[in-house]
Structure 1
Amino acid sequence: MADLQYEVRVAGRLSERAQRAFRDYEEMRIVSAPAETVIYVAVTDEAHLQGILTLLANLRLQVVSMNRIPELP
């Protein structure tokens, strides 16, 4: 599976704990918006995607939307 790019929108702003949890991801960009946080990430395979979804769930982040995008901004 070639890298796929995703835009993940989560409710609210990321806590310091959540920001630290995402520091290990190289192909990830986090942008704060007024009422949500947008996470842009390149995913290498299904296991990588599942790992990100598991991390979001473990951090108790509410995913508002998740969409494939043509390229990372």
Structure 2
Amino acid sequence: MTDRRYEFRVDGPLTDPAREAFCDMDVEEVRPGAVLRGVVVDDAHLHGILEQLRLLGLTVVEAHPLDR
């Protein structure tokens, strides 16, 4: 996997700690949640992002690459 831009949609607003954890990503608040967009460098990085979202108590509604 080479660097790809991904979009992650989560249910509910992002807390300040969640915003800090993903400070390298673009965040857009959309009802009823938020959209995070950023570069994912490899599969391990993708799984790390998903795990961090889980640890922060966020439910991932959708995750997909933007440059299919």
**TM-score of the pair, normalised by structure 2:** 0.88
Spell out, residue by residue over 1:5-53, the C-alpha distance to the aligned partner (whole angstroms, 9 max, x if none): 2111000110111111112x3xx21110121100012111111111101
Alpha-carbon distance in structure 1 between the residues aligned to 2:28 and 2:10: 11
Give the match for residue 15 of structure 1.
Answer: 15
Counterpart secondary structure, 1:70: coil
Alpha-carbon distance in structure 2 between the residues aligned to 1:29 and 1:10: 13
CA RMSD across the alignment: 1.4
Equivalent AA in structure 2 for residue 22 of structure 1: F
Unaligned runs of 5+ in 1: none
Counterpart secondary structure, 1:42: strand
Equivalent AA in structure 2 for residue 32 of structure 1: E
Give the match for residue 66 of structure 1.
Answer: 63
Report how many residues are paired: 68
* Percent identity of paired positions between Structure 1 and Structure 2: 38
Unaligned runs of 5+ in 2: none
Instruction: State the Cα distance separating 1:67 from its structure 2 match.
Output: 1.3
Q: Which runs of 4+ in 1 moved over 2 A?
A: none
